[in-house]
Amino acid sequence: MLTYPSFFNGVAAPYQIEQSLRFAGETNQYLYRTGAITAQGGVSLWVKFHRDFGSYTSAVADPIIYLSGGGPWIYRNGYGYLYYRSINTGGDSTWSGQRCRDHSAWYHIFLKFNSSNSTSLYVNNVLWGTQSTNIGTSSGDQRIGYDGAYYGRFNLAEYHAAFGESLDATDFGEYDDNGVWVPKEFTGNYGSQGFYLKFDPSAANGLGHDHSGNGNHFTDAGGFTTSGTGTDVMSDTPTTNWCTLNPLAVSSSLPTLSDGNLQGVTPASGVGNIYATMQIPSSGKWYWEVKAVSSTFSAIIGVSAYNGNLVRIWESGNNALYYNYVGNGQKFVDGVTSNYGVSYTSNDLIGVACDVDAGTIEFFVNGTSQGSISHPLVDTFPAACDGTNTAGTAFTFNFGQRAFEQTPPTGYKALNTANLPAPTVKDGSKNFNTVLYTGNGATTQTITGVGFDPDFTWIKNRSSSLAHNVYDVVRGDGKKLKTNAAEAESDVGTDFTFETDGFFVGNRTETNESGSGIVAWNWLAGGSGSSNTDGSITSTVSANPTAGFSIVTYTGTGANATVGHGLGVAPKMVIIKRRDVNSNWAVYHDGFGPTKVALLDDPIAPVSQGSTYWQNTAPSDTVVTLGTTTVVNGLNGTYVAYCWHSVPGYSSIGSYVGNGSVDGPFVYTGFRTRFLLYKNTASTSDWYIIDTARNSYNPCQTMLYPNLSNAEYTYSGTDAIDVTANGFKIRYANTGMNTAGVTYIYMAFAEHPMGGSGVSPATAR
C-alpha cells in the first residue's frame, strides 16, 4: 500500500483508490491466469491512457482484456477507438465513432456480458454500444496488458470481474454531489470465476492478488517494478489524478513519450518541447523533479507561460515568459542566457521549486540549490525543452505520483487534482447548462432540466434554417433578439417565458417547430436586476460575480461614457446589442483588445474602430467604457450588454494561434468543456459553437453558427475538436478553426473542473 508524501493534503473522495499499476509497453509487463469464465456478468476497470496516437497506424493496439481460449477482449487501436474482438468469430468491431484520446484523466470502462450472448460497453456510465456476437466461454489464458503481439500503454486501477448475475456500471460507480462519475465500493457477488485486483504489491500474492476472496490470483509476468523511485505502482488514481506530460500540447517537432507520459525524448531534429497536463496554480508553492536520462550540454528544463503557437518556448519572439535551467549551468530567461549554477548531465536529478506567491523559481541539482530566480509567473506550465541541436535527449519527470528522490523544500506541494485550489464553481451545470429538446408544434411546451432558474437563454432550431433567439430576464419575457441579424428587439408575447428550472415556448417554429431538434444554452445571472451607478450611465444589472456573468441594460447618451457591469472583475468578453432600432452586435474580446471590435451577426475580422466603440479602453473591474457610435451608445438608444470574465475551473476566455495541422493547438482551460464559442480574427470566417450535449463523445464534429440561421452542420470525415478533462484539442486544419499563424478567440464554459481541493477529478472524455 502506498503512503502519500507529507505534503499531500488533498481531500479524500468518499471512496478512495490508493494505487494504480503502470503498463508502459515494456516486455513482460502484463498479468495472466488460466481459468474459465461464464458469459453473464461484467468487467469494470479504470484506465488512464498514455501517449497520443495521431501519427500511429491502426495496427498499433493497447490490449486491456485478452482471453486466449475464446470469448471477448477489448483494446484501444492506433487511432484511439475502443475495439471489441470475439475470438470465436475472429472479427473486430468498434463502438460507433467514439475516440479515447484524452490523456489528462481517467476513463471508467464497464463491459456488460449479457445472458443473451451480447456485450455492451459503457464509458463513464454512458452506453457506447452493444455487440451481438456470441461471446462464448473462455477456458484459456486471461491476460491483462498483452495479447501476444502488443503490450498495453496505460495505468489501470480498481479491476473487477464478476460473473453469474446481471450487473451494471452503477454497481461500480456513481455520480457525486457535483455530477462527477466516481468509483464506489462493489458490494455484489463475484461468482466463482470472478476476481478483484487492487494492484497492491504488498498483498500476499503481489500485484495479481485477488481481493475478491476467490483466490483467482494473477501472475506477474516479471516486467513490473514495484519498489523504489522507478516503481510502476503509483498514486495516480481515479480519485487523485496526477500531472503528467501532455502529448496533445507539443511543439511541431514531437518528442517521443514513454513510461506513462513521464519520459520525453527529443526527435531527430533535436528540437521540441512539451507541456504538462496541469497548469501551476496562481498561488502556492509547487515542486517536481526531472532526471536527465542522457547527457547533453544544451538541455533545457523549467517553466513557460502557455504559448498558443506551441513553438519552442525558449525561442525569442514568441511572447512567452520562460524560466529555464540549461545543462551547461546557465539560466535562460526570456531569450537571455547568463551564469546560474553547475552543469548537469546524465543521471543528475533536477528538483524544481516554484513559489508563485514570492515570484521565484529555484532549481536543485542532486539536492543542492543553485539559487533563486525572480519571475512574474502568469499562466505557467512545467515544460520540458530539449537542447538546441541534440537529438535523443531524454528527461524523466516525477510530479509526485511516485516517491520523490529528494525531500521537497518545506511547504511545497505536488501537482495533483487534490492539491489544486478549491474551485469557486464546483459544478458547472449550476451556472451554465445546455438542454436539448424536440419541438412539438403545439401552443404550449415547458422545457425543464436546466438545473437552475435561467436568466439568459439562447435557443437555436438545429434542424431548420431559422434564427437564433436570445432572451433574458432583465429585458423581460417575450423580448427576442436574433444573434444572426441586426434586427431590433421584437416581442413574441407569451410564446417565451422564463420558468422554474427552465422556460416555456409557444408554437413559433424558431423555438418549437414540430419534430425539430432544438438546443438551448442557459446562463445564471442575478435575477431581474437592480440599479447600478458605477458608470456615468446608470444601468440595470443582473450579476452573478461567482460565475463571472452579468446582464446589463442602459440608455445611450451619444457621448463618451461608462456603464457599470456589476462583476467586480474586468470582463474579458462583452457583447452589446442596440434594441430599439436595427443595429449590429458589437463584440469586445480580450484576445484582440479595446482598439478593435468584432460583430456577432457578421463574420468580418475584428476591425480597428476601438475609439468609437470602447475609447480604446479595456473594461475595468467596475465599468465598460463606451464611445460615441450608435452601435453601443446612441443618444436615447436602448441597449443590452452581456459581460463575462474567466473563472478558474468554470470558464475560460482567451485565444490560441493556429498551426495549420491536423495535430492542431491544444488549449488549456483547466476543466472539462461543456460549451465552446470561437472565431478566426484574421478573416471573414463564421463564428462557431460546439457543445458536449450535441457532441456526446469525441471528436466533436457538430457545429452551429451564431451569425447564420443555418441548420446544424456536421464535419464528416474530419475529427474537428476533441474535448478533454483539462481543455480542448484542435484536430482539423481549416480557416474556421486552425489556419497557421492566425489568432482565434474563444469563450468556454465547464461541465466539471479538472479537479481541486474538495471536488472529485473530472473523468476523461
The whole-number pLDDT of residue 303 equals: 81
The whole-number pLDDT of residue 586 equals: 98
Q: Does 66 or 612 have the greater pLDDT score?
A: 612
- Residue 666 in this model has a pLDDT that exceeds 70: yes
DSSP secondary structure string for all residues of 584-623: -EEEEETTT-TT-BEETTS-PPPBS-HHHHTTT----SSE
The whole-number pLDDT of residue 252 equals: 55
Distance of CA 181 to the CA centre of its chain: 15
Which residues 6+ apart lie within 8 Å of 228 measured at CB?
Answer: none
The whole-number pLDDT of residue 319 equals: 45
Q: Binning pLDDT at 50, 70 and 90, where does residue 91 land?
A: low
Dist. CA 279–CA 378, nearest whole Å: 10
Q: Does 762 or 139 have the greater pLDDT score?
A: 762
Name the burial class of residue 389, with classes exposed (0-12), middle (13-18) and buried (19+) by CB atoms within 10 angstroms of its CB. exposed
Distance of CA 391 to the CA centre of its chain: 31
Query: Thinking of the domain 428-523, which architecture would CATH place it in?
Result: Sandwich (2.60)
Q: Is residue 636 left, alpha or beta, with left meaning phi > 0 and alpha meaning psi from -120 to 50?
A: left
Reduced DSSP (H G I as helix, E B as strand, rest coil) percent helix, strand, coil of the chain, to 5: 5, 40, 55
For residue 243 the three cell numbers come to 500531472
Q: Does 500 or 129 have the greater pLDDT score?
A: 500
DSSP secondary structure string for all residues of 724-762: -SSEEEE---STTT--TT-EEEEEEEEEEES--TTSPPP
Q: Binning pLDDT at 50, 70 and 90, where does residue 299 land?
A: low
- Residue 35 in this model has a pLDDT that exceeds 80: no
Q: What is the mean pLDDT of the chain?
A: 88
Name the burial class of residue 635, with classes exposed (0-12), middle (13-18) and buried (19+) by CB atoms within 10 angstroms of its CB. exposed
Q: Binning pLDDT at 50, 70 and 90, where does residue 314 land?
A: very low
In three-state secondary structure terms, 276 is strand
Dist. CA 453–CA 435, nearest whole Å: 13
How many degrees, rounded to 5, is the angle at CA 467 between CA 466 and CA 473? 135
The string of pLDDT tens digits covering residues 459-471 is: 999 999 999 999 9
Under a CB-based contact definition with an 8 Å cutoff, are residues 630 and 578 in contact?
A: yes
Least confident of 214-218, 300-304, 740-744: 300-304
The whole-number pLDDT of residue 49 equals: 94
CATH class of 245-398: mainly beta
Q: Does 271 or 409 have the greater pLDDT score?
A: 409
> Both ends of the chain: CA-CA distance in Å?
29
Mean pLDDT, to the nearest integer, of 570-593? 97
In three-state secondary structure terms, 429 is helix
Least confident of 62-71, 225-234, 378-387: 378-387
Helices then strands, counting H and E runs in the chain, come out as 3, 58
Q: Binning pLDDT at 50, 70 and 90, where does residue 640 land?
A: very high
Dist. CA 657–CA 396, nearest whole Å: 29
The whole-number pLDDT of residue 453 equals: 98
Under a CB-based contact definition with an 8 Å cutoff, are residues 72 and 137 in contact?
A: no
Dist. CA 576–CA 537, nearest whole Å: 15
Dist. CA 233–CA 362, nearest whole Å: 29
Q: Measuring CA to CA, which residue among 440, 463, 448, 432 is closest to residue 504?
A: 448
The whole-number pLDDT of residue 338 equals: 86
Least confident of 95-99, 136-140, 372-376, 509-513: 136-140
Domain ranges of the chain: 20-234, 245-398, 428-523, 530-644, 652-753
The string of pLDDT tens digits covering residues 359-372 is: 899 999 999 999 99
Tracing cell 481460449 back to the chain, one arrives at 69
- Residue 736 in this model has a pLDDT that exceeds 50: yes
Q: Which residues partner with 541 through β-bridges?
A: 530, 552
Mean pLDDT, to the nearest integer, of 529-550? 98
How many degrees, rounded to 5, is the angle at CA 479 between CA 477 and CA 481? 140
The whole-number pLDDT of residue 492 equals: 97
Under a CB-based contact definition with an 8 Å cutoff, are residues 553 and 535 in contact?
A: no
How many degrees, rounded to 5, is the angle at CA 659 between CA 654 and CA 664? 75
Half-sphere exposure of 539 (CA within 13 A, CB side): 30
Q: Which residues partner with 673 through β-bridges?
A: 750
The whole-number pLDDT of residue 316 equals: 40
Count of C-beta atoms within a 10 Å radius of residue 317: 7
Instruction: State what percent of residues in the chain have pLDDT above 90.
Output: 67
The whole-number pLDDT of residue 250 equals: 64
For residue 418 the three cell numbers come to 487534490
> Where are any strands of DSSP class E within 14-150?
20-24, 31-34, 41-49, 61-67, 72-77, 82-86, 91-94, 107-113, 119-123, 126-131, 141-144
Tracing cell 524523466 back to the chain, one arrives at 396
Query: Before 183, cis peptide (omega within 30)?
Result: no
Under a CB-based contact definition with an 8 Å cutoff, are residues 89 and 134 in contact?
A: yes
DSSP state, residue 510 = H
The whole-number pLDDT of residue 752 equals: 96
Dist. CA 147–CA 75, nearest whole Å: 9
- Residue 419 in this model has a pLDDT that exceeds 50: yes
Dist. CA 176–CA 182, nearest whole Å: 7
- Residue 126 in this model has a pLDDT that exceeds 90: yes
Q: Binning pLDDT at 50, 70 and 90, where does residue 422 land?
A: very high
Mean pLDDT, to the nearest integer, of 138-150? 80
Amino acid at 454: P
The whole-number pLDDT of residue 92 equals: 64
Name the burial class of residue 602, with classes exposed (0-12), middle (13-18) and buried (19+) by CB atoms within 10 angstroms of its CB. middle
DSSP secondary structure string for all residues of 118-163: -EEEEETTEEEEEE-S----B-SEEEESB-SS-B-EEEEEEEEEEE
Name the burial class of residue 600, with classes exposed (0-12), middle (13-18) and buried (19+) by CB atoms within 10 angstroms of its CB. buried
Instruction: State what percent of residues in the chain have pLDDT above 70.
Output: 86
The reply to whether 20-234 and 428-523 are identical in fold is no
> Where are any strands of DSSP class E within 670-741?
671-680, 688-691, 702-703, 713-714, 721-723, 727-730
Choosing among 2.60.120.200, 3.40.50.300, 1.10.150.20, 1.10.10.10, the CATH entry for 20-234 is 2.60.120.200
Tracing cell 509487463 back to the chain, one arrives at 29
Dist. CA 473–CA 622, nearest whole Å: 22
Dist. CA 245–CA 264, nearest whole Å: 8
Which residues 6+ apart lie within 8 Å of 204 measured at CB?
Answer: none
The whole-number pLDDT of residue 552 equals: 98
Mean pLDDT, to the nearest integer, of 401-412? 96
Q: Measuring CA to CA, which residue among 98, 166, 100 is closest to residue 129?
A: 98
pTM of the predicted protein model: 0.93
Q: Binning pLDDT at 50, 70 and 90, where does residue 309 land?
A: very low
In three-state secondary structure terms, 640 is strand
The whole-number pLDDT of residue 306 equals: 60
Count of residues making up the chain: 765
In three-state secondary structure terms, 517 is strand
